[in-house]
């Protein structure tokens, strides 16, 4: 593929005080109050950044997250102020809460793998016997993880979150209220577009004494989606085809099939051009399915120069 991908950035913006390189996003602190978040085309799975980037992935994540943050701002305050470039969002700088909040409506992904291995308690939530993959829970369950600076995140229970003082009891009650409302809105939006939102994760930060939603929301990196017709056919008795994925989960499944699940000693399999193109098309497909809009591919000829110009122009305007 001859499309230029955005692998990494190393800008020096006006007022910049720090740069943090995450698995997918490069995060620039601007002064004391602002953060510039650049969505690269990197892709991670099992907490490992894969060796090849995915064309247009960063643009999909950034533009989809911006739309969905706007669409849920009536429910929960969030960090976003503007998206001055296809790959960039700018917003309020908050102190991250050291917990990732995962809401699951269905027994899939990590929850299914744990259940299939014989575990019946997940993050302090007891699961009944007799469940099958893709079963819907009577009510969504919350299965948090620690937010590790490096390596794998670890499952954690509500009791341990409170005991370790990662959040206060009052904060935890508010966070649960927030994430269940967001998940319900996300499921409603997905249903309207012929999709099933199976599970997702949320991240929050503290802005003074206020909790705000940060990072992304309901994107293919943070969520699992199925086409509703394929899900209904499978759970209705047609087991010939698994529900069609429209999220990053199919990348995880492909890696597992090729002998990689992030365990020590395992090697990431070679990612072919055809597979990279397939992943890119899936991301674009989800964007168009969720938004109902045609995805407009940004010019990738001089992506770094474009981003730098747009960010500097935005910061200049906001500083005056």
| Model pLDDT for residues 171-228, shown as the tens digit of each residue | 999 999 999 999 999 999 999 999 999 999 999 999 999 999 999 999 988 999 999 9
Q: In this structure, are 75 and 131 located in the same domain? A: no
Q: In this structure, are 304 and 165 located in the same domain? A: no
Tell me whether residue 5 is in a domain: no
Domain boundary among 251, 282, 298: 251
Tell me whether residue 146 is in a domain: yes
Distances (CA, A) of 237 to 20, 213, 234, 245: 48, 39, 6, 18
Tell me whether residue 298 is in a domain: yes
Given a cut of 80, is residue 95 above it in pLDDT?
A: yes
**pLDDT of the residue at 36:** 98
**pLDDT of the residue at 61:** 96
CA angle 223, 135, 291 (to 5 degrees): 30
Average pLDDT estimate for 78-88: 98
**pLDDT of the residue at 2:** 57
Tens digit of pLDDT for each residue in 47-72?
899 999 999 999 999 999 999 999 99
Domain boundary among 223, 251, 279: 251
Average confidence score pLDDT of the chain:
94
Residue 100: give its domain's CATH number: 3.30.470.20
Q: In this structure, are 84 and 128 located in the same domain? A: no
Q: In this structure, are 241 and 303 located in the same domain? A: no
Q: In this structure, are 276 and 145 located in the same domain? A: no
Tell me whether residue 108 is in a domain: yes
Tell me whether residue 3 is in a domain: no
Q: Which domain holds residue 149?
A: 96-251
Q: In this structure, are 200 and 114 located in the same domain? A: yes
- Partnered with residue 101 across adjacent β-strands are 202
**pLDDT of the residue at 246:** 85
Q: In this structure, are 180 and 48 located in the same domain? A: no
Tell me whether residue 262 is in a domain: no
**pLDDT of the residue at 150:** 56
Average pLDDT estimate for 101-122: 96
Given a cut of 80, is residue 9 above it in pLDDT?
A: yes
Tell me whether residue 181 is in a domain: yes
Domains held by the chain: number: 2
Dist. CA 291–CA 185, nearest whole Å: 14
- Radius of gyration, CA atoms only, the chain: 19
Q: In this structure, are 246 and 295 located in the same domain? A: no
Q: In this structure, are 241 and 103 located in the same domain? A: yes
Q: In this structure, are 197 and 168 located in the same domain? A: yes
Tell me whether residue 257 is in a domain: no
**pLDDT of the residue at 259:** 94
Tens digit of pLDDT for each residue in 112-166?
999 999 999 999 999 999 999 999 999 999 999 997 655 567 999 999 999 999 9
68's CB contacts (< 8 A; 6+ apart) are 186, 189, 217, 218, 219, 290
Q: In this structure, are 171 and 105 located in the same domain? A: yes
Distances (CA, A) of 89 to 190, 220, 269: 23, 17, 32
**pLDDT of the residue at 1:** 47
Q: In this structure, are 188 and 218 located in the same domain? A: yes
**pLDDT of the residue at 152:** 63
- Work out the percent of the chain whose per-residue pLDDT is above 90: 89
Dist. CA 308–CA 152, nearest whole Å: 32
């Amino acid at each position: 593929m001859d499309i230029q991908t955005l692998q990494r950035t190393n800008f020096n913006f006006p007022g910049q005080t720090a740069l943090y390189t995450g698995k997918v996003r490069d995060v620039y602190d601007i002064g004391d109050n602002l953060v510039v978040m650049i969505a690269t085309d990197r892709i991670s799975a099992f907490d490992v950044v894969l060796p090849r980037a995915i064309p247009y992935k960063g643009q999909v994540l950034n533009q989809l997250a911006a739309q969905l943050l706007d669409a849920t701002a009536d429910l929960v305050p969030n960090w976003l102020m503007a998206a001055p470039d296809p790959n960039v969002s700018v917003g309020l700088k908050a102190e991250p809460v050291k917990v990732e909040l995962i809401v699951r409506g269905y027994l899939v992904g990590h929850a299914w793998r744990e259940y299939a291995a014989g575990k019946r308690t997940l993050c302090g939530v007891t699961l009944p016997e007799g469940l099958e993959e893709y079963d819907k829970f009577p009510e969504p369950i919350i299965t948090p993880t620690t937010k590790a600076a490096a390596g794998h995140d670890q499952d954690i229970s509500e009791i341990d979150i409170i005991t370790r003082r990662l959040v206060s009891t009052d904060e935890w009650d508010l966070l649960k209220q927030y994430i269940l409302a967001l998940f319900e809105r996300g499921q409603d939006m997905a249903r309207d577009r012929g999709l099933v939102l199976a599970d997702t994760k949320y991240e929050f930060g503290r802005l003074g004494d206020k909790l705000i939603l940060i990072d992304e929301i309901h994107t293919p990196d943070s969520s699992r989606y199925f086409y509703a017709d394929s899900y209904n056919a499978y759970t209705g008795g047609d087991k010939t085809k698994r529900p069609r994925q429209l999220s990053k989960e199919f990348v995880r499944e492909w890696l597992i099939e090729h002998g990689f699940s992030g365990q020590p000693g395992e090697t990431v399999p070679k990612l072919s051009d055809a597979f990279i193109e397939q992943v890119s098309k899936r991301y674009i497909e989800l964007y168009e399915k969720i938004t109902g809009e045609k995805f407009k591919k940004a010019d990738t000829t001089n992506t770094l120069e474009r981003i730098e110009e747009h960010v500097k122009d935005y910061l200049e305007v906001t500083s005056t």
